Structure 1
Amino acid sequence: MKISSQVVLVTGGSRGLGKETVKAFAREGAKVVINYFSSAKKAKELEELIGKNALAIKADVRNLDEVGNMFQAAKEYFGHPVTTIVNNALVNFRFDPDEKKDASQIKWQDYQTQLEGSIKGSLNTLHAGLSSMKETGFGRVINIGTNLVQNPVVPYHDYTTSKAALLGFTRNMAQELGPYGITVNMISGGLLKSTDASSATSEEVFKLIEASTPLRKVTHPSEVADTVCFFASPWSRAVTGQNLVVDGGLVMN
């Protein structure tokens, strides 16, 4: 299915990488659902910027009822169910190397918060969209990971562990859902310059990344967003269960 025929849900779609992903899909002609939880003003501004092909909907991805209502509202508005899910929402986390909890401070609740955002949130969106995807014989699920799983240069224990679990989720779902025409992939960016989540990162850290990355630059959210579009496009129709690292070559698989 061409991107222009798809209805794309981007969780956490009002800011940072989510916002750039929404804009990238809109540029390609897709109809886009901008999911948000607390950033109503930014979501509505983005909706107005795109126009009739965008719909901003508030929903907590950890709440299955809210997610189900969001999918139903999208179907009613666009006249077609969601075909493509981008699990991007980030719950209560900032990339702050100075304030992060070390091994003696991290608590199970910290892990649980991130696991609920990454795994429960992704499971909820999949459950909400799976029936229509199976009926259509087409679906694209794109999970947002991190290159910290391969190279935990900064030990963000709770965040990185949740994304490692999301990789397992991705591959298991890819194996089971492939026969229905549904692909499930992951895109793992590096530290992006800049988003709300990375705003606490010092310029010194960004310069260190620039110096050690083959492309000699920090990845911009729009560059990751374009790769998200690739996984939704016909060009990736034979690709599933993969984790593509998009960080300028800092981590090479």
Structure 2
Amino acid sequence: MLISPALPLSQQVVLITGASRGLGACLTRTFLAEGACVAVNYLKSREAAQTVVAQAPERALAIQTDVRDPDAVRAMFNAVQAHFGRPVTTLINNALSDFSFNGDARPTADTLNWENLDQQLQGTARSALNTIQAALPGMRQQGTGRIINIGTNLFQNPVVPYHDYTAAKAALLSLTRTLSNDLGPDGITVNMLSGGLLRTTDASAATPEAVFDLIAANTPLRRVTTPEEFADAALFFASPWSRAVTGQNLVVDGGLVKN
């Protein structure tokens, strides 16, 4: 029976997609603070990515890649391994197609079209499939790996029906569960972290203040979760302490949704 070696965070190479801004930038700062090496993937926000890397330039690398492109993703993983001298140990699928959490501007049941859904599926499920497949050779070589997919609590509590966004994240949750079964024998865990509305990221900047107040009033902790609090939970799934946890969806929203 294979028992995967548990790497301390300070010995890890972490690749975070969509890591230049918002939650991704916060995840990067959190892992850098623990001594990890971090590859900061971005698509358009080069200056923002460089700003994040400047926190620990000797342990961080900004790398531009469209994660919807499988060839580009494989090249990215090769470049990260060449830069740090070892393969990626933890992959965090955080990239999000252009999306604004503004309920007044969302497509409704009458206006939703396949293009809306396809855009989110490409940016969420397809990109995760690309990155996971590119990560597997290095993780198998090491006999261990951590894959963390970023989800949403809107499956359980669709307070605002973001149909396209939620459907894509639901597909990612399904992949999380099925891939955990496939990859467990390789010592690779696959888990999901699902948040609610975070105060505040680029994506939630358009959310009316009244919505934040409503969520806070209905949350046991009586406040909206911050990106920093959410990122703390990612450390658990990447750390040695989660070595027997896989196929799980941990909701980090202050108790609003009971998973």
Aligned-pair CA distance for 1:134: 1.0
Q: d(CA) in 2 for partners of 1:104 and 1:217?
A: 33
Is it true that 1:227 corresponds to 2:258 in the alignment? no
Counterparts of 1:5-20 in structure 2 under 5 Å? 5-20=11-26
Query: After superposition, what is the alpha-carbon deviation per residue over 1:84-143, rounded to whole angstroms, capped at 9, x for unaligned?
Result: 100000111110111111001000111011111111100000111101111211010000
The letter of the residue matching 1:154 is V
SS of 1:101 mapped into structure 2? coil
Q: Aligned residue for 1:121?
A: 127
Aligned-pair CA distance for 1:51: 1.7
Query: After superposition, what is the alpha-carbon deviation per residue over 1:3-41, rounded to whole angstroms, capped at 9, x for unaligned?
Result: 111100000001111011101111111000000001111
- Structure 2 stretches of 5 or more lacking a match? 1-6
Aligned-pair CA distance for 1:49: 2.0
Q: Aligned residue for 1:3?
A: 9
Moved >4 Å (runs of 4+): none
- CA RMSD in angstroms comes to 0.6
Q: d(CA) in 2 for partners of 1:127 and 1:174?
A: 13
Counterparts of 1:178-217 in structure 2 under 5 Å? 178-217=184-223
Q: Aligned residue for 1:177?
A: 183
Q: Aligned residue for 2:84?
A: 78
Mapped contact 2:29–2:55 kept (Cα < 8 A): no
Q: Aligned residue for 2:3?
A: none
Q: Aligned residue for 1:148?
A: 154
The letter of the residue matching 1:189 is G
Q: d(CA) in 2 for partners of 1:135 and 1:41?
A: 34
Q: Aligned residue for 2:47?
A: 41
Mapped contact 2:40–2:60 kept (Cα < 8 A): yes
The letter of the residue matching 1:93 is F
Is it true that 1:97 corresponds to 2:103 in the alignment? yes
Q: d(CA) in 2 for partners of 1:222 and 1:61?
A: 24
Q: Aligned residue for 2:4?
A: none
Q: d(CA) in 2 for partners of 1:41 and 1:2?
A: 30
Identity %: 57
SS of 2:53 mapped into structure 1? helix
Which moves more between the two structures, 227-236 or 45-54?
A: 45-54
Is it true that 1:165 corresponds to 2:177 in the alignment? no
The letter of the residue matching 1:179 is P
For normalisation by structure 1, the TM-score amounts to: 0.99
The letter of the residue matching 2:30 is A
Partner residue of 1:238 out of 226, 244, 247: 244
Aligned-pair CA distance for 1:66: 1.2
Q: d(CA) in 1 for partners of 2:164 and 2:243?
A: 33
- Structure 1 stretches of 5 or more lacking a match? none
Query: After superposition, what is the alpha-carbon deviation per residue over 1:58-99, rounded to whole angstroms, capped at 9, x for unaligned?
Result: 001100111111111111110001111000001111101111
SS of 1:131 mapped into structure 2? helix
Q: d(CA) in 1 for partners of 2:69 and 2:125?
A: 12
Q: Aligned residue for 1:26?
A: 32
Q: d(CA) in 1 for partners of 2:256 and 2:116?
A: 27
The letter of the residue matching 2:98 is N
Q: d(CA) in 1 for partners of 2:73 and 2:100?
A: 24
For normalisation by structure 2, the TM-score amounts to: 0.97
